[in-house]
Amino acid sequence: MKLKIEPDRPIMLFVRVKGRKGVREYRAVLDTGSQYSVIPLQDARELGYEAYCDPEAEPSSGTRGVTKSDIIEADEIELEEVSVADLAAKNVKALAYHLPRMGGVEATLGLSFLKNFKTTIDYKAGYLTIEPI
Amino acid sequence: MELYPGKVMTLEEAAEKHPKQWLGVKVISRDKESGQPLKVKVLAKNVDLYSVRRNIGVDDVCTFYTGPIPEISIVLMF
C-alpha cells in the first residue's frame, strides 16, 4: 500500500474496522506514538464490541490512556480485523473513545496495527508505504 | 440532517460540494495502489458527526470530515 503524503500535515488514511455486526470505515490519523489504535465509542458498541465506559457518566471504570494533554479513560477492546487497502490485521487492540469533535478526526491508527507490517514514511519521496513483513 | 440518494462523485468533489461537514458515504471505487476511496456516493451530511451516524446504517459506511485537519490550531497526539 503506497500513499502520497505531505510534509507538515498529519498523515491521514482510510481504515476499515470489522466487528461481528458490520464494517465501518474512517479517515484515521497515523499515530506512531500510540500503543493502541482508537475508534469511536459509539461505533465500537454498534459493531458489537463490549465498550461500556463512558467517562462522563461513570468515571474510573475503564482503561487509562495518557495523551499529550490529558489522561483519558476508555474501554480496551480487541478489534476483529482492521484493514488498509489489501492489508489486514486481526485482533488489533484499540480503545473505544470519542476523540474531540473539533479535531475533525474520528480514529487513530497506532502501533497495535502497524506492528503487523513494515511501515516506511519517506518525506523526501513523499510517500507512506505499508507492506507485509 | 440531510439524507439523500447522492450521485457518484470523487472524494474531492464531495468535499468541495459539502465543505466543513461530516459526510457518510458509500465507497464506489478505490485507488489500486493506496486502497483509498476514489469515488463515493454521499448518503448523509451534517456539521455534527453524531447526527450523521444516527442516520446511516452500521454496515460498510465510511465517514469523514471535509474541513481542514486540524480544524483549529491544535496538534493531535495520542
Q: What would the pLDDT profile of B18-55 be if each residue is shown by its tens digit?
A: 999 999 999 999 999 999 999 999 999 998 888 887 77
**Quick check: A24 and B69 CB within 8 A?**
no
Please judge whether B36 and A110 are an interchain contact, meaning their C-beta atoms are less than 8 angstroms apart.
Answer: no
Give chain A's end-to-end CA distance (angstroms, integer): 13
Total domains in chain A come to: 1
Q: How far is CA B29 from CA A20, A68, B35, B41, B69, in A?
A: 24, 37, 9, 10, 24
Contact between A130 and A117 (Cβ < 8 Å)? yes
- Report the predicted TM-score, pTM, of the whole model to 2 decimal places: 0.83
Nearest to A40 by CA among B71, B68, B34, B50: B50
Distance CA B21, CA B2 (A): 11
The reply to whether ipTM tops 0.85 is: no
CATH number at residue A126: 2.40.70.10
Instruction: Determine the structural domain holding residue A21 and report its residue range.
Output: 2-132
Structure confidence by residue, pLDDT tens digits, A77-131: 999 999 999 999 999 999 988 876 666 888 999 999 999 999 999 999 999 999 9
B76/B78 Cα distance (integer angstroms): 7
What are the structural domain ranges in chain B?
2-65
Residue of A nearest to B56 (CA): A24
